[in-house]
Structure 1
Amino acid sequence: MGIEVIIEKYNHHWITQYENEKTNILNAIGDFIIDIQHIGSTAIPGLGAKPIIDMMAGVSHLNGFNKFIDPLHLLDYEYVPKQEVIDRKFFRKGRWRQGTVHLHICEYKSNEWKEKLLFRDFLRAHPNKRDEYFELKKKLASKFKFDRPAYTAAKTNFINDIIKLACLRYNIK
């Protein structure tokens, strides 16, 4: 049996948790970071989420990302290699196989960077779409209660649709 997918109501403490982690990360590897952002559902006021803070750090390039592993390990972050993902590096902090914080490191202003911010910012600006996403997440959490990969995969079409809609709305090609 996998880890249970639990969606909680929005918690304003997620912002404080993000700010604390941001400070710690910048103290550890800030010389390499161009920008760091709170992304994902916990970054969208009013949106329920798994209680995991998603963060994205933008760097000039991913070559040599290994230099982040030891300093982040001192902050209890574990590097999780994902062979299928080449445009970002993933670190997890917290409970085994789930974590309390997920740190995504990607190239600043790459497509990965832009799409994550587009998605977040569009849902922040459009409460109707935010609420639609919350309903979808609750439905999928019930359907895939112990299958987090399936839960995540089932959200992909909605996320891609929002990114396309945001590109149209903001005239981004």
Structure 2
Amino acid sequence: MEKYGAGSIVVSDYDPSWPALFAQERVRIAQALGAFALAIEHVGSTAVPGLPSKPIIDLLVGVPSLEEAKERSIAPLEALGYIYMPDYASWLPGELFFRKGPPGPWTHHLHVTEPSHPRWEALVVFRDYLRAHPEAARAYADIKRGLAASSQDNIGAYRNGKTVFVQETTAKALAWHAAVRD
């Protein structure tokens, strides 16, 4: 069982300061990585106004090459307090994953990937879909709160419990996004 940080999983009510916390961190990352960071997005539940979440800011950083990112990004991000989690590569192929904050609870998750990687679009359109569809965001909130209560400190169970909803909603989001573009 993979334990969660420093105790039980907590899904907090939406905090209106989350976008500002993202904006502050975005500036720091942009300064650290310079032009190598092609884009920096706020993703995950803290990026959806009104959505309850674990109070962890998820950042998605687009880079031109993941292989080059291993050489150019790890040290500058570690200097900002991020901890590179290489063991997550098996769970998150095609990206570099970092955590920031005391050793649990974490305050930030950082995903570094190429914008052409399918996960980039999936994370962004999932966020945009939840922003545009409050009923889907409410359903997700209910699932997250139920899982937090039943999973205790088992982050694997919490994460896996969201999988079906996330996959189904991402499929809807991709179709919605394609229709909006046309």
CA distance in 2 between counterparts of 1:118 and 1:170 reads: 7
Q: Count residues in correspondence.
A: 172
Q: Given residue 129 of structure 1, which amino acid in structure 2 is its aligned partner?
A: A
Q: CA RMSD in A?
A: 1.4
Stretch moving more, 18-27 or 88-97: 88-97
Distance 1:169 1:134 in 2: 21
Matched, 1:75 2:44: no
**Deviation string for 1:42-99 (max 9, x for gaps)?**
0000000000000000111101223211111111111011231321110111021542
Distance 1:7 1:61, change over 3 A: same
Instruction: Indicate which of 157, 160, 172 corresponds to 1:165.
Output: 172
Instruction: After superposing the two structures, state which structure 1 stretch, 48-57 or 144-153, moved more.
Output: 144-153
**Identity within the alignment, %:** 35
Structure 1 unaligned residues grouped into runs of 5+: none
Contact 2:22-2:57 at 8 Å conserved across structures: yes
Q: TM-score, normalised by structure 2?
A: 0.90
- Shifted more, 158-167 versus 43-52: the winner is 158-167
Which of residues 121, 133, 148 in structure 2 aligns to 1:126?
A: 133
CA contact (8 A) 2:125 2:177 kept: no
- Does residue 1:26 correspond to 2:30, yes or no? yes
The answer to whether structure 1 residue 11 and structure 2 residue 18 are counterparts is no
Which one has a larger percent helix, Structure 1 or Structure 2?
2
Shift of 1:149: 1.3
CA distance in 1, matches of 2:48, 2:139: 13
Q: 1:41 is matched with which residue?
A: 45
Aligned to 2:94: 87
**Aligned match for 1:102, one of 104, 109, 119:** 109
Q: How does 1:136-147 map to 2 (within 5 A)?
A: 136-147=143-154
Report which stretch shifted further, 160-169 or 125-134. Answer: 160-169
TM-score, with structure 1 as normaliser: 0.94
**TM-aligned CA deviation for residue 8 of structure 1:** 0.3
What is the aligned counterpart of 1:65 among 65, 69, 72? 69
In 1, are the aligned partners of 2:89 and 2:95 still within 8 Å (CA)? Answer: no
**Which stretch of the first structure deviates more once superposed, 145-154 or 161-170?**
161-170
Q: Distance in 2 between matches of 1:128 and 1:86?
A: 31
Corresponding position: 1:111 with 2:118: yes
SS in 2 for 1:54: strand
